[in-house]
Amino acid sequence: MKIAIGSDHTAVDLKKEIIEFLNTKNNIEVIDLGPSSKERTDYPLYAHDVCTLIQQKQVDYGILICGTGVGMSIAANKHLGIRAVVCSDTFSAKASKQHNDSNVLCFGARVVGSELAKDIVDSFLNAEYEGGRHQKRVDMLDDYLIIK
């Protein structure tokens, strides 16, 4: 499984911890799209880079971390085919995958501690999309919810 990860300046340390955590798993390859320094930057840049790799099918999932996770999720959901969720609990992370086929997980470095963040990541990655009755609704997201 390939995962692209990005953050803004508020979440560089947590991103590093999450990368180290993912690197302990032998079936996961992580691509770090930055930033590497804590110099102030803009979360939409990193959301765009991560989502582009998913759209190009170069990675399976994305993880985006900013102060709250909110800006990252708003930016990510501007991309066709991206279903980003901001989660501060493990249940939502799991259910978002099962019901919404979420492909980008966002959380906030100012909201969750690193151990909870790791549990959220595990819940997201270990859950399977259930398809079935959910597929029609997931299709609707791309088919006619792009309103200009």
Is residue 51 part of the annotated active site? The answer reads no
d(CA 35, CA 40): 10
Alpha-carbon 77 to chain mean position? 10
Q: Which of 40, 41, 64, 42 lies closest to 51, judged by CA? A: 64
Half-sphere exposure of 115 (CA within 13 A, CB side): 0
d(CA 132, CA 116): 30
Closest distance to ligand RB5 from the beta carbon of 108 (Å): 6
| Residue numbers 20-49 binding ligand RB5 by CB under 6 A | 43
Alpha-carbon 105 to chain mean position? 2
Residue 68 interacting with ligand RB5 (CB under 6 A) = yes
Residue 107 interacting with ligand RB5 (CB under 6 A) = no
Is residue 134 part of the annotated active site? The answer reads no
Residue 76 interacting with ligand RB5 (CB under 6 A) = no
Residue 70 interacting with ligand RB5 (CB under 6 A) = yes
Of 2, 31, 45, 67, the one binding ligand RB5 by CB under 6 A: 67
Residues 51, 66, 87, 106: which is the catalytic one? 66
Residues 9, 48, 51, 99: which is the catalytic one? 99
The amino acid that residue 102 corresponds to is: S
Catalytically active residues are 66, 99
Binding site for ligand RB5 (CB under 6 A): 8, 10, 43, 66-68, 70-71
